[in-house]
Structure 1
Amino acid sequence: MFQKQIIMRKVMYSLIPIFILSVYLYGLKALELIAVSFLFGIGTESIFLKKKNKKVSEAVLVTCALYAMSMSPGTPLWIAAIGITFGVSMGKMAYGGFGRNIFNPAITGRLFIYIAFPNMTNKWLIPGNFGMTDGIAGATPLEILRNEGIPKFTDLLLGTRPGSMGESSGILIIAAALYLLYTKTASWRSMGSTLVGYFLVQTLLFSFDLGANPLYGVFSGSLLFISVFMVTDPVSSPKKNGSLIAYGLLIGVSVALIRTFSLFPEGTSFAILLGNTFAPLMDEIIGKARVGEVKS
């Protein structure tokens, strides 16, 4: 049924603990959003490939998984369906399918509904107890930081705080990063440079009382999640080692600047699409000086 892709399968393995946590935190709501994301994501790609008589790629499973984990647990199912359909069709298949897309399709879909339905995609729920605790959660850690407060660091590590379904547990995301690096599935260059770029600029801003505490900023919002799973996407990121570092730095710096100076409390999606835009140019410029370099 699916075109076998070992790298994508390893990414799915790394996401299993995060999936389990999301179900514990939000119960049926998480399961419904996951099901809708996979159903419409796989369905959209299969429609595009039907005339070509090709199998659906396992990469679409990763797209659906990352998209689902980036969802606010209170997002209406029909909006989630629109987002993943747009992401797969316009962010991937419109360019010719796997390996040809310029932009990360999961981020493309997430950002589309974030802009199109801003009041319906940021419904944060109280996490825990398999979603049995009813009610709308208070401020997310990023909103707390913006208001010069300090979120509980244990909540940031364990994931027991309001936010997107799979982006809340620092411990599980770090564990996934170690697995992906150990199996050489992801590049440490883009992953590390994203965090370094953010941390350096955010530290500078914080020293002038212009931004949030950089350490809390790394574990708040989706920065850690996108650094491990989105920035390291082998298709939409550069291919040269040097350009991978420049690519990560661009994204990390952009996140710090967007979070500090824009109206948006989070800037990761915008930063990734900005990085995707310049990825081919980075390979062109840096690649000329280092011909034959292979990404690891």
Structure 2
Amino acid sequence: MIDQYFQKQDVMRRLIYALIPLFFFAVLLYGWSVLLQTAVVFAGGIATEYVFTRQRGKKISEAVLVTCALYALALPPALPLWITLVGIVFAVALAKEAYGGFGRNIFNPAIAGRLFIFLSFPVPYNAGWIVPASRGPQGFSGLFGTTQAAGVDTVTAATPLALLRTGEIPPLMDLFLGFRGGSSGESSVILILLAALFLVATKTANWKTMASTFLGALTAAGAFFFGGLIPGLSPASFPGLSALVPLAAYMMSGSILFVTVFMATDPITAPNKPLAQFVYGLMIGGVSMTVRTLAGFPEGTSFGILVANTFSPFLDEHLPSPKKKKKKLQTAGATQ
């Protein structure tokens, strides 16, 4: 039935499969409102693409489903629905279809939509963070939407990055499992890593781009931390190996891992040459951490992706391709 209206794209379907566990976990953390927000995103994104593809006599690309899924998971859970809708319409109409549709866009549509509403509606955007479900000695509390914590205003809940800027380090296990605030789908490190393994095993995503993005982010974060430039975190307060704890918390906070696995590996906006892909990943990670640390924004991954998208054609054009190995010719009588 779906093939009647959508172009079948197996790569896009595998990406959706990898994202499904993150949606389930987002509902556990923030309640059923995540499903309503997701429904608005998919309805708006599919309808917007239909308007354009209908004029060309083509089917809707399944890539728009990936754009919708990534955009929905990258949003604050309590973002007003009308702002959510504005963002996905912008993402599909102006960041994708305006360039000619699938395969022609130069910017990642989901990130473009997210950054557009962040810059256009910063107050409601930053008020969209809520307290997620938590874990404790008695088990898990606040699942399925009962996220009100005692004495905490859920619409101004601090994200891990905000806590780190005050010198408070969230428990590493909570960061790893995902029981912390943030965008709907960015929190669970373990689920993101499992998704990465699935994408690499099925040859859906390039592991080298993932590795170089993480390397770029880790290098920049380490330089800023040990240089004493990260607000609230001073290496002098964590002597010896204990200094790795706040650095690990800094890396597991925010959306850098989510972006590394699902955004940096976008085959449309990423370069094609191996060396270009490596530099591209370094650029995403480095710019993301630079903006996060030194600029006045709560996170820098959207800027990292869009800056790297801008330079992607340049990297493909000017960085060398790998040299092809010459096949050894075996001639008769050449055996010794």
| TM value normalised by structure 1 | 0.95
CA displacement 1:94-120 (0-9 Å, x = unmatched): 000000000000001000000000011
Matched, 1:133 2:166: no
Q: In terms of Rg, which structure is larger?
A: 2
Task: Please show how residues 274-289 of structure 1 align to structure 2 within 5 Å.
Answer: 274-287=307-320, 289=321
Task: Please show how residues 104-119 of structure 1 align to structure 2 within 5 Å.
Answer: 104-119=108-123
Moved more, 133-142 or 250-259: 133-142
Partner of 1:250: 283
Q: In percent, how many aligned pairs have the same letter? A: 50
1:194/1:248 contact within 8 Å kept: yes
Matched, 1:161 2:160: no
Distance 2:280 2:253 in 1: 22
Tell me how far 1:290 sits from its aligned partner: 3.5
Distance 1:246 1:102 in 2: 17
Matched, 1:207 2:226: yes
CA displacement 1:116-152 (0-9 Å, x = unmatched): 0001112211212111233515311111112222111
Partner of 2:8: 4
Partner of 1:180: 199
Tell me how far 1:153 sits from its aligned partner: 1.1
- SS of residue matched to 1:121: helix
Matched, 1:95 2:95: no
Matched, 1:191 2:184: no
Matched, 1:62 2:66: yes
Matched, 1:52 2:76: no
1:127/1:133 contact within 8 Å kept: yes
Gap change, CA 1:32 and 1:292, over 3 Å in 2? farther
Give structure 2 stretches of 5+ with no counterpart.
Answer: 134-142, 234-245, 326-336
- SS of residue matched to 2:44: helix
Tell me how far 1:218 sits from its aligned partner: 1.7
Distance 2:271 2:247 in 1: 27
Task: Please show how residues 9-20 of structure 1 align to structure 2 within 5 Å.
Answer: 9-20=13-24
**Among residues 277, 290, 293, which one is paired with 1:260 in the alignment?**
293
- SS of residue matched to 1:103: coil
Distance 1:175 1:91 in 2: 29
CA displacement 1:195-226 (0-9 Å, x = unmatched): 10111121122112112543212210000000
Task: Please show how residues 223-234 of structure 1 align to structure 2 within 5 Å.
Answer: 223-234=256-267
Moved more, 195-204 or 72-81: 195-204
2:42/2:65 contact within 8 Å kept: yes
- SS of residue matched to 1:130: coil
1:199/1:215 contact within 8 Å kept: no
2:103/2:268 contact within 8 Å kept: yes
Distance 2:283 2:131 in 1: 34
Gap change, CA 1:292 and 1:89, over 3 Å in 2? farther
Tell me how far 1:70 sits from its aligned partner: 0.4
Runs of 4+ in 1 over 6 A off after TM superposition: none
1:40/1:81 contact within 8 Å kept: yes
Aligned residues: 292
1:195/1:218 contact within 8 Å kept: no
Give structure 1 stretches of 5+ with no counterpart.
Answer: none
**Among residues 164, 170, 180, which one is paired with 1:151 in the alignment?**
170
Amino acid at match of 1:16: I
| TM value normalised by structure 2 | 0.84
